[in-house]
Amino acid sequence: MDKIKIGIIGAGGYGGCGAIELLYAHPHAEIAVLLDKQDIGRSISDLYPHLKGFCDLPLMDPDDPAVPDDLDAVFFATPDGVGQQEAGGWLEKGVKVVDYSGDFRFNDAHSYEAYAARIGRQQAHAAPELLPLSVYGLAELHRNEIQNTSLVGNPGCFAVSCILGLAPAAKEKLIEITSIVCDAKTGVSGAGKKPAPGFHYPARYDNMNAYKISGHQHVFEVERELSLLAGEDVIMTFTPHVVPVCRGILTTIYAQLNPGISLPKIVDAYRSFYGDDVFVRVFGPDVPQGTANVRGSNFCNLSVNMDDRTGKLVVVSHIDNLVKGQAGSAVQNMNIMFHFEESAGLMKPGLFP
C-alpha cells in the first residue's frame, strides 16, 4: 500500500519537529511537505540537526505555488488562530486535518468563546461552520468519532493529562464531581521553542513557579469532557506550574471519593475503563512512577491512590507533553482517521536515562 502523504504546517516549531520524529519512519505515512512562515528555504535539518539524513525537506511558504496539493492529511502545528483560517481550504481539497491548537476543540462558537477569552482572543471564530464537524482528538474517549471525521482538534497537553487521569472516576461516579483539583507541573518544552525571559536557562534552571493560577485555558476542554462522562456539569480548579524539566507533565489530581469507594474498586474501574487502550497504563500505589518513565514515548502512566484519612482520590498522571501531549496524539489520531493500526509508528519506549 502506498504511504499517505502528510504536510506539516508550522513545521519549524517543537510540535512540527515532534511530528517529524514520529513520521519519518512511520509504516503507512510519509512527510511530503513542510510549511512555515519563518526560515523559508532552510532545511528542517538545519534547524534541527538531529534530523539530518532522516528528514531534510526545506521549509516552504504556505503561499508558494509549488506546495503540492495531493496531500492526504495536514497537521497544523501552529498557534491558536491559524488553523481556523486555513483548515477549510484543505478540507475542501479532501485533505484531512489535525489541528494542535484550541481552534477545533469545541463544537460551537459559544463554547469556544470562554476558551478564547482566556488566551486574549477577542475575535469571533473564523470558521464557525467547521466547528460542528470537528472531533476532540483524545483517542481513548473519541476513537469512533475520530474514525469518521476529517477534522480533529488535538487536545491541549495539560488536558490530556487531566482527562485521562479523571475519566474513569467521572464515568463511574467514584467522586464528588464538584470537588476536583488538578495540580499540574510541566516541563519547559511545553512553551515552545521561542526564547522568553522565563525560559532563559539562568532564570529557569533552579526555579519553579505557578502561573495562570485558576486561569489556564485548558480547563474548559477538561470540564467539557468530564461533564460528558459524568452526565452533569463539572467545574474544577486547575493550577499549572513550570519546573526545570524539558519533557513531561505530571498532574496530581485530587477529588473527594463517594462513600463506600475502596482503593481496589478504583483501580479496577481504571483498568476496566482503559482495558484495550495500549497507551494508558494504570498502576496502584505500590509502583513508583516518574515522568522519566514516559519521556519520549506516547504513554500515559496513571498512579491511582487513595488518601484514607480524608477519603480523597489521588491520581498522578504522567505524560510526555511533546508526545502524548501533542505530536504523539496527533499521529494517533491520524492513524485512526486512516484506519491504520492505532499505534503505528508510536510503539517506542523513549530513552533512559
Q: Would you tell me how many other CB atoms lie within 10 Å of the CB of residue 284?
A: 16
By the rule CB under 8 A, 38 interacts with its own copies: no
Closest to 222 (Cα-Cα) out of 274, 182, 281: 182
Could you tell me which residues are beta bridge partners of residue 73?
6, 96
Closest to 295 (Cα-Cα) out of 349, 240, 241: 349
By the rule CB under 8 A, 148 interacts with its own copies: no
Closest to 136 (Cα-Cα) out of 112, 168, 108, 106: 106
Instruction: For residue 315, give every residue at least 6 positions away whose Cβ sits within 8 Å of its Cβ, in sequence order, or none.
Output: 165, 166, 169, 252, 253, 302, 303, 304, 305
Cα gap 70→194, rounded to integer Å: 31
Stretch that binds its own copies, among 61-69, 78-86, 96-104, 311-319 (CB under 8 A): 311-319
Residue 267 Cα distances to 9, 75, 128, 172, 282, angstroms: 40, 36, 40, 12, 8
Stretch that binds its own copies, among 131-139, 147-155, 161-169, 247-255 (CB under 8 A): 247-255
By the rule CB under 8 A, 290 interacts with its own copies: yes
The answer to whether residue 157 is catalytic is: yes
Burial 302-326 (b: 16+ CB within 10 A, else e): bbbbbeeeeebbbbbbbbbbbbbbb
Q: Which of 157, 162, 182, 300 is catalytic?
A: 157
**List 111, 227, 252, 258, residue binding its own copies (CB under 8 A):** 252
Footprint of its own copies on 105-144 (CB under 8 A): none
By the rule CB under 8 A, 214 interacts with its own copies: yes
Q: What are phi and psi of 103, to 5 degrees?
A: -60, -30
By the rule CB under 8 A, 310 interacts with its own copies: yes
By the rule CB under 8 A, 204 interacts with its own copies: yes
By the rule CB under 8 A, 24 interacts with its own copies: yes
Nearest distance, CB of residue 28 and its own copies, angstroms = 17
**List 96, 121, 224, 295, residue binding its own copies (CB under 8 A):** 295
Nearer residue to its own copies within complex by CB, 66 or 205: 205
Cα gap 8→240, rounded to integer Å: 28
Nearer residue to its own copies within complex by CB, 83 or 248: 248
By the rule CB under 8 A, 197 interacts with its own copies: yes
Nearer residue to its own copies within complex by CB, 54 or 338: 54
Could you tell me how far CA 193 lies from the centroid of its own chain?
17
**List 232, 235, 262, 264, residue binding its own copies (CB under 8 A):** 235
As given in the structure block, the three cell numbers for residue 179 are 470537588
Nearest distance, CB of residue 92 and its own copies, angstroms = 34
By the rule CB under 8 A, 199 interacts with its own copies: yes
**List 30, 107, 254, 268, residue binding its own copies (CB under 8 A):** 254
By the rule CB under 8 A, 200 interacts with its own copies: yes
Binding-site size for its own copies (CB under 8 A) equals 82
Using CA of residue 57, residue 59, residue 65, residue 70, what is the dihedral sign? positive
By the rule CB under 8 A, 324 interacts with its own copies: no
Q: Known catalytic residues?
A: 157
